[in-house]
Copies of this chain bind each other. A is one copy, B any other.
Amino acid sequence: MGASARRGPYICGIDAAMDVVSGKWKSLILWELDNYGTRRFGELRRGLPGVSEKMLIQHLREMEEDGLIHREVYREVPPRVEYSLTADGTSLNEALRPLGAWGTARSARLAADDVVARA
């Protein structure tokens, strides 16, 4: 009974999508996994500056349960676990691209306004 997705009922598609992406690091995890294809726990941790172990594992578990990522365990010593995107995770990442572009444009504009404001 964790803090995972509600899994409906949803008012609309965005609602359903937001349910699965909300979480401070989830979109970053998606992006990281999309870039590298496959990532170990420690690599993700280093790739997401500021994330705590607890939040990382919690988000990873929820995303696994939501069918966005795949978790492959190699029973070795030392233990190795590799995370990768599922088809769903990949398509979600695609769907997030325009939003990312919008955010980048907005950030740039805010920064520019800030410079003007300081002048």
Q: Please list the residues of chain A having a beta carbon within 8 angstroms of any beta carbon in chain B.
A: 7-8, 10-22, 27-28, 31, 88, 91-92, 94-107, 110
A97 → chain B closest CB, angstroms: 7
CB-CB nearest in chain B for A107? B16
Contact between chains at B110 and A8 (CB < 8 Å)? yes
Residues from chain B with a CB closer than 8 A to the CB of A12 are 27-28, 31, 100, 103-104
Residues from chain B with a CB closer than 8 A to the CB of A110 are 7-8
The main secondary structure of chain A at its interface with chain B is helix
Residues from chain B with a CB closer than 8 A to the CB of A102 are 13, 17, 91-92, 94-95
- Assembled-state Cα–Cα distance A13/B52 (Å): 21
A100 → chain B closest CB, angstroms: 4
Copies in the complex: 2
CB-CB nearest in chain B for A92? B102
Contact between chains at B106 and A17 (CB < 8 Å)? yes
Contact between chains at A99 and B95 (CB < 8 Å)? yes
